[in-house]
Amino acid sequence: MAATVAPPAAPPPTSATIRSLTAAGNHAAALRALSSLSASSAQLDHFALPPAIKSAAALRDGRAARALHAAALRRALLHRPTPAAGNALLTAYARCGDLDAALALFAATPTELRDAVSYNSLISALCLFRQWERALDALRGMLAEGRHDVSSFTLVSVLLACSHLAGDDGRRLGREAHAFALKHGFLDAGRERFPFNALLSMYARLGLVDDAQTLFRNTAAAFSPGGGDVVTWNTMISLLVQGGRCGEAVEVLHDMVALAVRPDGVTFASALPACSRLEMLALGREIHAVVLKDGDLAANSFVASALVDMYAGNERVGNARRVFDMVPEPGRQLGMWNAMICGYAQAGMDAEALQLFSRMEAEAGCAPSETTMSGVLPACARSEGLAGKEAMHGYVVKRGMAGNRFVQNALMDMYARLGEMDVARRIFAMIDPRDVVSWNTLITGCVVQGHIADAFQLVAEMQLSSSSSMEEDAIVMPNNITLMTLLPGCAALAAPARGKEIHGYAVRHALESDIAVGSALVDMYAKCGCLAASRAVFDRLPRRNVITWNVLIMAYGMHGLGGDAVALFDQMAAGGEAAPNEVTFIAALAACSHSGLVDRGLELFRGMERDHGVKPTPDLHACVVDVLGRAGRLDEAYNIITSMQPGEHQVSAWSSLLGACRLHRNVSLGEVAAERLFELEPDEASHYVLLCNIYSAAGMWEKSVAVRARMRRQGVAKEPGCSWIELDGAIHRFMAGESSHPASAEVHAHMDALWERMRREGYAPDTSCVLHDVGEAEKAAMLRYHSEKLAIAFGLLRAPAGAAIRVAKNLRVCNDCHEAAKFISKMVGREIVLRDVRRFHHFRDGSCSCGDYW
């Protein structure tokens, strides 16, 4: 039997072996080779030591770095024959998280043995630990020695440090660094481009985007005849998008292509968010077409994620899903899953968002991140059942994300939507530090739940916490989102005093000219009955979008000024600042309806598609039904409904017709409309109430009783009438017939006095407003304490002398209260502004602004 021959022994590692392994990125193998080298008779030399230290740094192996440090000291190799080993060790300590060891090593290095790389390593280490001031001090020390040239790498670290210094110091030092770069030729043609890109990034971080733009325009073309390298262009596009200047980012992209600089995946991944924010779907599709032609780009997961995000941002979720599905599952990166889940959630497709979330880890093995949870939690918040939400909260805790501020904000929003404000507040209390999103999330929750006083208290706490903070980074002040959250709350409660506080803050902090804040102010003043103030804000805005125009057109209509609303519509259509859309026509048609402008309303409806490209929708058909119905042209209104397509949503149209039948006491057509509504919306109480009103006004009590019995059988309850008034910053609510308000006894007594005086002045209660078949005296007693009458009485008792009484109601004002308000306004010589669910009524000297056409 032949003897087994042992394989030849592997040759012992050498310094060249270690250098080769480190250069190839095989760092673990390099350290193993080093161990073998130490175990053999071979000596560690100055050729093997620096690469071995670099491998220890790459692996974040602090123990290996310390062992190599000790070996270098024993063999006197740390700084001789060159400082290479010492410099590498300084970097290794920093990367291993031991800044103190790195600083101690630098301090122990004799001055004459330090070179430019030594200082560069020190400055980089300090930047790694965000020690920006100390990094600049190190640069000053380097320059003071006068022996070392600043390298491009050193300059990049210095620019990074400047970009993180707050306020004027950062801007001053950044501009000094720019001047230094110019003086020493770092921006000259033919030099490395990365200092230039770092300079662009620095200006953007410091909020000096205009400086970055100027630098880019003046210097970028100098790098090559083709217009500069792609990285520079990508940097500029990315900075502009991150700074919210998406239109300029798109211009840079067009210039880039015009100068024959070939875009790459980073270009498109940077530019696509601009297409989303600017709603530039056409450009996004052009980019998608270019991507599809290039196989490498099509396989780029970052580009695919940006495409998904772009389509979702342009409300093309189906296109987004097709891009998502085209990428094979192993190639789907976390960002793509996040983009698709967030796209579904933002589109309100909550079931799809939750389903994809469940697939993400179970099928694809992709672990959700904090961004994933921030996207999926809003979808969970809108889904049915508390159990699923609590389970999701438990999942967040289990995954160790409960301390992440973005996730905490999303959890807080979820519980606030549920009305679980105590839980939301507990989460808020745990957030440290709180950013403006944290404050805005809880403030929004308070507004949505109707806790306006709590929302304003939170704003006060936000400002107080900022004023007491000694750190600039911790200062959080109300921003445009805060104001846009609070203003609709003031509008909903008809609380102009609170709204004026917000307006004052907006003026002091230069937020009034923000188009979204300005639109919200226009809306708030209009819904609080202050139409002149609303128009004044509108006129002061430097620019207006379609929302701003729509809000004011709607406001004129709600206040019964249909002619002014239509005139504003004509101004909008002729001006070109914003094109009318569907909402514009809904507002204009509603204004025509409330003011009896039938012919003008029909003219608008017939010309909207021809002149403005707005196609008729079910909501617009309902507006025309309302225009015709209020004018008594019920048969034409009915014909409009029957001409609608069978699949169209017809609830609003039938509801408008039913309201018109109540107004004109048309029992037969009212029954037709009501029965259709009972089929379409069997749980909506207002349909039953309107039919009861029709029967009661016609004296058909048996049928009225039958409708109420039908409501009880189906479990449909009429929403109780509630009116409120704001005085001295507090909201006072009154319910019909109730006495829960602290001043109820005084209010009822004052209402009794007003009632008797009105009767003497000729007022007769409109008992047809009472749905119950009881005696006339009992009906009159019921009418006396309707909620809007109680709120008016309270206002007369407590409001300053001569001030207008501003009352809001959650339902339509009844005929009797409308008549009573006219009498009261004349008797007391006060203006009464009453806002119901449909419109405003301004009562002066016994007349109403609606002209009794409502």
- Provide the CB-side half-sphere exposure for 452 (13 A, CA): 21
pLDDT of residue 782: 83
- Flag whether pLDDT at 45 surpasses 80: no
- Cα–Cα distance measured from residue 483 to residue 463, given in angstroms and rounded to the nearest whole number: 13
CA dihedral 363, 369, 371, 372 (to 10 degrees): 20
> Using one digit for the tens of pLDDT, what is the confidence trace for 118-150?
888 888 888 888 888 888 888 888 888 877 888
Burial category of 153 from C-beta neighbours within 10 Å (exposed 0-12, middle 13-18, buried 19 and up): middle
pLDDT of residue 819: 94
Could you tell me which of 703, 701, 638 has the C-alpha nearest to residue 664? 638
Structure tokens at 684: 């909506």
Count other C-beta atoms under 10 Å from residue 60's C-beta: 12
pLDDT of residue 108: 85
Which of 553-567, 731-745, 748-762 is the least confident region? Answer: 731-745
CA dihedral 235, 237, 241, 242 (to 10 degrees): 10
> Using one digit for the tens of pLDDT, what is the confidence trace for 822-845?
999 999 999 999 999 888 999 999
- Flag whether pLDDT at 467 surpasses 70: no
Structure tokens at 827: 């008797």
Count other C-beta atoms under 10 Å from residue 697's C-beta: 17
Cα dihedral 22, 27, 31, 36 sign: negative
Q: Looking up tokens 């009880």, which residue turns up?
A: 712
- Cα–Cα distance measured from residue 199 to residue 178, given in angstroms and rounded to the nearest whole number: 7
Quickly state the pLDDT bin for 41 (edges 50, 70, 90).
Answer: very low
Quickly state the pLDDT bin for 28 (edges 50, 70, 90).
Answer: confident
CA dihedral 728, 730, 731, 733 (to 10 degrees): -90
More confident residue, 809 or 194: 809
Amino acid at residue number 705: V
Partners of 735 in the β-ladder: 722
- Burial letters for 466-476: b for 16+ Cβ neighbours within 10 Å, e otherwise? eeeeeeeeeeb
Structure tokens at 489: 């709350």
> Using one digit for the tens of pLDDT, what is the confidence trace for 345-378?
988 899 999 999 988 887 777 889 988 998 899 8
Tell me which range, 217-221, 676-680, 716-720, is most confidently predicted by mean pLDDT: 676-680
What contacts 24+ positions apart, CB below 8 Å, involve 702-710?
704/771, 704/773, 705/773, 708/771
DSSP 254-309: HHHHHTTPPP-HHHHHHHHHHHHHTT-HHHHHHHHHHHHH-HHHHT-HHHHHHHHH
- Cα–Cα distance measured from residue 536 to residue 643, given in angstroms and rounded to the nearest whole number: 42
Cα dihedral 377, 378, 381, 383 sign: negative
Could you tell me which of 720, 588, 587, 590 has the C-alpha nearest to residue 656? 590
CA angle at 805 for the pair 801 and 807, rounded to the nearest 5°: 155
Structure tokens at 545: 């979008």
Could you tell me which of 214, 188, 202 has the C-alpha nearest to residue 136? 202
pTM over 0.95: no
More confident residue, 82 or 259: 259
Q: How large is the average pLDDT for residues 419-436? A: 92
Could you tell me which of 787, 799, 800, 798 has the C-alpha nearest to residue 834? 787
- Cα–Cα distance measured from residue 200 to residue 203, given in angstroms and rounded to the nearest whole number: 5
Q: How large is the average pLDDT for residues 655-672? A: 94
Cβ pair 677, 684 in contact under 8 A: yes
Cα dihedral 94, 98, 103, 108 sign: negative
Q: How far is the CA of 268 from the CAs of 310, 328, 491, 507, in angstroms?
A: 11, 20, 42, 39
CA angle at 349 for the pair 347 and 354, rounded to the nearest 5°: 125
Burial category of 301 from C-beta neighbours within 10 Å (exposed 0-12, middle 13-18, buried 19 and up): middle
First to last CA, the chain: 115
- Cα–Cα distance measured from residue 847 to residue 478, given in angstroms and rounded to the nearest whole number: 42
CA dihedral 605, 611, 617, 618 (to 10 degrees): 0
Percent over 70 (pLDDT), the chain: 92
| Average model confidence (pLDDT) across the chain | 86
What contacts 24+ positions apart, CB below 8 Å, involve 568-575?
569/604, 573/611, 573/612
Cβ pair 415, 380 in contact under 8 A: no
- Flag whether pLDDT at 1 surpasses 90: no
Could you tell me which of 623, 628, 621, 618 has the C-alpha nearest to residue 587? 623
- Cα–Cα distance measured from residue 12 to residue 6, given in angstroms and rounded to the nearest whole number: 17
> Using one digit for the tens of pLDDT, what is the confidence trace for 805-828?
999 999 889 889 999 999 999 999
More confident residue, 302 or 606: 606
- Cα–Cα distance measured from residue 52 to residue 50, given in angstroms and rounded to the nearest whole number: 5
Reduce the DSSP state of residue 732 to 3 states and report it: strand
- Cα–Cα distance measured from residue 214 to residue 585, given in angstroms and rounded to the nearest whole number: 44
Q: How large is the average pLDDT for residues 2-11? A: 51
Tell me which range, 142-151, 490-499, 570-579, is most confidently predicted by mean pLDDT: 570-579
- Cα–Cα distance measured from residue 591 to residue 587, given in angstroms and rounded to the nearest whole number: 6
